[in-house]
Each structure stands twice: as structure tokens, then as C-alpha cells.
Amino acid sequence: MSQKLLLSTLLSFLLMMLPVLAETTPGEQNARKAPDWVNNGVMYQIHARAFTKEGTLQAATEKLPDLARLGITIVYLCPVFVADDDERQEFWSPRQKKSGMNNPKNPYRMKDYYNIDPEYGTNDDLKQFVKTAHQLNMRVLPDLVYLHCGPAAVFIKDHPDFLKRDKDGKIIYASWGFPALNFSNPELREYLWKNMEYLLRDFDVDGFRVDVADGIPLDFWVEGRKRLEKIRSDIALLAEGSRPENQLYAFDMNYSFPIEPVIRNVMDGKKPASDLAKVKNLQTAKQPKSGRFIHYIDNHDIANDDYEKRREHHWGTDGVEAALLACFTFDGVPMLYNGQEIADKSRHSIYANLPIDWSKANTKEGQNRFDFCRNIIKLRKSFPALCALGKTNFTDNDHPEEILSFERMYENEKILVVINFRKKPVTVKVQSDFAPLKELLSKGKLLTNEKNPSFELPEYGWFIGQVLP
């Protein structure tokens, strides 16, 4: 074996072992350093079929100034590449059949990774979308869907070994009933790495959101990142996953999967507010130090599968704002989903064009929600303690069933956040040495401004205050 081949084999082995080595002490290691635009970022998810009535990239581009006015700095764009149009329903996912839309084109069932689906426009339309976003000081993370592909993917005829197969040569299907890609094949890996390089280089995107990231070997992403950084050093990768070692070696952000269900249960009155502190602390302990997570209460999956319990219907405007406030003041990167900023209540589906009701933007409710989001985003940008690198300390209070209270700290800056998650007024005393407080934003009243301050909060009320120097 040549020395070059030996070194290459050794490197591949070490990359494959990274997850094993990291599993022992992930909480004792530091997460990789992320670009400042990630640490200070505010994300918005665009699902093109719902974002505008046209459902195209051109139409979405025209609305980007509204996102900039809101204060958004990162746009996560759901897949707009060519989706498989195979009409055989045995190759549709159960949720695709259940939707009743009778549309074979699932944006998460890829046919061609290199071209834009004509449904959304052209390759040039995506380039213009990214260019416009950059002019508005926003970054763009398109979605990569590499766990599986469609049964008619363009590469299968020439590269049948790009798919996982059993000993008899039959295709192995991944979750949702789609053909699984074969990451033990070096040629398949090279094909996908070149796809990532092509999108970064030719479309000038700023990185990627990665669908089902934990279902793909970590060493694939390690090498992918290495190649991307040769083109641009300030890229970012968001993992739709929670694997602790992700942020040690490849990714800048993970999903906060344990958090959203707890927020939902707290809002539904099934769990005490204090459970959020327990789960958040547990998540932090299991992940690398200074790990970053996106926080959200709605996304394309939730809106698609749980329409009757979409947050606006189920919690009401004030309840949604209390939950959003938590997402925007937790350590991590907050994410708004299509139309949340105007309190949209429309049904959305990833299988059909069911658009946001943008007329809501002209109603009092819609304008109030927009102002609420813009004010919270502006506040977050004004105080590093509220951004991803700010530390969090959950504090006790005398109403743990209803109230969540926590302190955010960065260098000498200290912020206290108190949120009422119940549809009833509460007077609460918080155990905190943070005093005296200067009110920054609130929906409530500070009663005693000293050590262990007390607050009068209306239903779904909240208070954000800065410790005076």
C-alpha cells in the first residue's frame, strides 16, 4: 500500500470514528466556532408553495424587503430543486397520501439536485433571490435532502449503485418510503459534495439547512464542510438533527427537538412552565459547550400535519406571542415560519399551493404581531446577552406552574426574562439577584425593583428587564 493511500485510509478511519470518540464527553468539549452572523442571527423559513400565491422564487424575491424590515437576517429556503413526479403511490410517503392533495411532487423527494424545479422558476431565479437577499443584508440557507431521493432520480440509470440495495439487488427504502442513498459508495459521496460546491459557488448561497442530518454519516458532513470552506470561509450548516457531535466537527446549529414539544405541552396546560427549564438544561448538558440551537413553534412539518392545532388557532394571538417570546430570548437562533409575523391562520401543505393570507398584514391583529416580532428582534440585536452566545440561568419563582423565569448574561450585560404561559393573570416573585431592573419590553408591571423582584403579569404576560450598572 502506498504511503499516500495509507494516509488517506487512516484519515477516513479517523473521520468515521469522530462520533464514537465524541459520544463519551460531548458536554466537556467546545462547539466549533460559528460565524458572527449565525450567533447574532434571526431566521425565517420560506416554504415557497405557501409563501406567495404564485409559489415562485420571483414572487418570493419581491417579498424579501418585508422580511428585512422585520429584522430577519437568515432565510432558510425549503427545497426548490426538481422534485420527483413519479405518480405511483407505492412510492409516496404516508403523509403525502393522507394530505389528499394527489400531487406526486413532494419537495422532499428529489429527482435532480442540480436544477430548479420549473414550478418555482429557473436557476437564474434562485440566483436573483440570493442576490436580492444579500443586498438586504440577509443570508440564504437552501435545504439539502440527501438521505433519500425519488424513484425516478436522474442519476439512477447511470449509477444504480448510488442507492442502497439488499443482497439480491433490490432497492432499500429509507423512512417515508423513498429510495435510500448509499453513503458507502465513494462515487455517491463525490456526486453530492460536488453538488454542495456547485450551489455555493454558482448560486452564492451562504451554507445549507440539512434535512434529516443525523441519518447521514457525520464524516460525510465533515468532508463536505472542509470543501465548502475552501470556497468561502464564513459558511454555515444547520442540522435537522440533535446528534451532540454535529457541532464539534461540521455543523453550526442543531434543531432543538426536545424543546418544541415541551412548549406545546406547557401552552396546552399539560405540563408546568418549569419543565421547560428542566428540558433546556438537560439539552445543554448533553451538547458541546456553547452549542447553538434553533428555537421555533411552527414549521413546514407542523403546519402540514397539524393544521387543526396550528398555533394561531389553538393558543390565540397572545398565547402565540408568549411562546414566541421564549424562542426569541432563549440562547440559540430563533426561527419564524411563513406568515407567523402577521398571525397567519391559513392551512399550509408541502404538497400543494395553499398560500399565506397576506391580507392579514393589513388587519390590527396582523400589524400588532408584526410590531411585536420587529420589537423583539430589535431588542435581541441590541443586547448580545440575548443572542446565541449569551449564557442562560433558569431561576426559581413562586408560580412554577405558570411562570418561566431566567437570566441571560454576556460579559457584564445581564437581562432578566419572565413569561406567563397561562391564560390567567399572575402576581409572581422571582428568585434573582438581578436588581435594580430597567424595563426593556413588557406586557405587565414590575412591582418591586430589588433583589427577588415581583411582577404583575396579565394572561400570557411577560417582562424583559436589564440590570442597571
Give 3's pLDDT tier (boundaries 50, 70, 90): very low
The pLDDT value recorded for residue 469 is: 83
Q: Mean pLDDT in the chain?
A: 93
Mean pLDDT across the stretch 153-170? Answer: 97
Mean pLDDT across the stretch 160-170? Answer: 96
The pLDDT value recorded for residue 12 is: 47
Q: Determine the Cα–Cα distance for residues 199 and 266; give it in Å rounded to an integer.
A: 40
Sequence-separated (6 or more) residues with CB below 8 Å from residue 28: 289
Query: Whats the size of the chain, residue-wise?
Result: 469
The pLDDT value recorded for residue 78 is: 98
Q: Is the Cβ–Cβ distance between 311 and 321 less than 8 Å?
A: no
Q: Determine the Cα–Cα distance for residues 396 and 73; give it in Å rounded to an integer.
A: 33
User: In a 3-state reduction of DSSP, which class is residue 414?
Assistant: strand
Q: Which three cell numbers stand for residue 364?
A: 390590527
Cα angle value 214/337/32 (rounded, 5°): 40
Q: Which three cell numbers stand for residue 408?
A: 441571560
Q: What share of the chain in percent tops pLDDT 70?
A: 94
pLDDT tops 60 at residue 17: no
Give 7's pLDDT tier (boundaries 50, 70, 90): very low
Decide yes or no: CATH 2.60.40.1180 for domain 392-467.
yes
Per-residue pLDDT reduced to its tens digit, 261-315: 999 999 999 999 999 999 999 999 999 999 999 999 999 999 888 766 678 988 9
The pLDDT value recorded for residue 20 is: 44
pLDDT tops 90 at residue 107: yes
Q: Is the Cβ–Cβ distance between 245 and 207 less than 8 Å?
A: no
Residue 79 exposed, middle or buried by CB count within 10 Å (0-12, 13-18, 19+): buried
CATH topology for the 22-389 domain: TIM Barrel (3.20.20)
Q: Could you state, in order of their start, the residue ranges of all structural domains in the chain? A: 22-389, 392-467
User: In a 3-state reduction of DSSP, which class is residue 405?
Assistant: strand
Cis amide bond preceding 26, omega within 30:
no
The pLDDT value recorded for residue 25 is: 60
Q: Is the Cβ–Cβ distance between 137 and 218 less than 8 Å?
A: no
Mean pLDDT across the stretch 145-169? Answer: 97
- Check residue 452 and give left, alpha or beta (phi > 0: left; psi -120 to 50: alpha): left
Cis amide bond preceding 436, omega within 30:
yes
Q: Is the Cβ–Cβ distance between 328 and 294 less than 8 Å?
A: no
The pLDDT value recorded for residue 41 is: 98
Instruction: Rounding to the nearest 10 degrees, give the CA dihedral for residues 210, 109, 45, 267.
Output: -90
The pLDDT value recorded for residue 306 is: 73
Give the least confident one: 15-19, 52-56, 194-198: 15-19
User: In a 3-state reduction of DSSP, which class is residue 314?
Assistant: helix
The pLDDT value recorded for residue 307 is: 67
Mean pLDDT across the stretch 425-434? Answer: 97
Q: Is the Cβ–Cβ distance between 251 and 239 less than 8 Å?
A: yes
Q: Is the Cβ–Cβ distance between 429 and 446 less than 8 Å?
A: no
Give the least confident one: 91-105, 135-149, 386-400: 91-105
pLDDT tops 50 at residue 14: no
410 forms beta bridges with 413
Sequence-separated (6 or more) residues with CB below 8 Å from residue 256: 242, 283, 293, 294, 295, 296, 332
The pLDDT value recorded for residue 26 is: 67
Q: Determine the Cα–Cα distance for residues 280 and 64; give it in Å rounded to an integer.
A: 33
- pTM of the full structure: 0.93
Per-residue pLDDT reduced to its tens digit, 237-261: 999 999 999 999 999 999 999 999 9
Give 100's pLDDT tier (boundaries 50, 70, 90): confident
Q: Determine the Cα–Cα distance for residues 459 and 366; give it in Å rounded to an integer.
A: 20
Q: Determine the Cα–Cα distance for residues 84 and 192; give it in Å rounded to an integer.
A: 17
pLDDT tops 80 at residue 143: yes
- Strand 413-420 versus strand 426-429 pairing type: unpaired
- Check residue 453 and give left, alpha or beta (phi > 0: left; psi -120 to 50: alpha): beta
Q: Determine the Cα–Cα distance for residues 452 and 469; give it in Å rounded to an integer.
A: 17
Q: Is the Cβ–Cβ distance between 210 and 239 less than 8 Å?
A: yes
